[in-house]
Amino acid sequence: MAQKHGPWTIQETSQKYENSFINVREDQVLQPDGKPGMYTTVKMKAGVAILPIDSEGTVYLTRQFRYALGKESIEVVCGALEENEPALDAAKREVQEELGITADEWIELGFFDLDTSIVHCPVYLFLAKQLTFQEAHQEGTETIEKLQIPLNAALQKVMDNAITHGPSCVLILKAGNTLSSGD
CATH code of the domain covering residue 66? 3.90.79.10
The reported pLDDT for the residue numbered 182 is 65
Question: Is residue 37 located within the same domain as residue 54?
Answer: no
- Its pTM stands at 0.92
Question: Is residue 70 located within the same domain as residue 132?
Answer: yes
Distance CA 142, CA 62 (A): 11
Query: Within 13 Å, how many C-alpha atoms sit on residue 65's CB side?
Result: 5
pLDDT in tens, 2-42: 999 999 999 999 999 999 999 999 999 999 999 999 999 99
Question: Is residue 72 located within the same domain as residue 37?
Answer: no
Q: What is the mean pLDDT of residues 163-176?
A: 98
Question: Is residue 118 located within the same domain as residue 56?
Answer: yes
Cβ-contact 91, 48 below 8 angstroms: yes
Question: Is residue 94 located within the same domain as residue 165?
Answer: yes
Does residue 68 have a pLDDT over 60?
yes
Question: Is residue 61 located within the same domain as residue 33?
Answer: no
Question: Is residue 72 located within the same domain as residue 132?
Answer: yes
Question: Is residue 153 located within the same domain as residue 70?
Answer: yes
Distance CA 5, CA 28 (A): 12
Going by their DSSP bridges, the two strands 47-52 and 119-133 should be labelled as parallel
CA dihedral 62, 65, 68, 74 (to 10 degrees): 30
State which residues form the domain around 30: 3-44
Question: Is residue 154 located within the same domain as residue 172?
Answer: yes
CA dihedral 96, 182, 87, 118 (to 10 degrees): -110
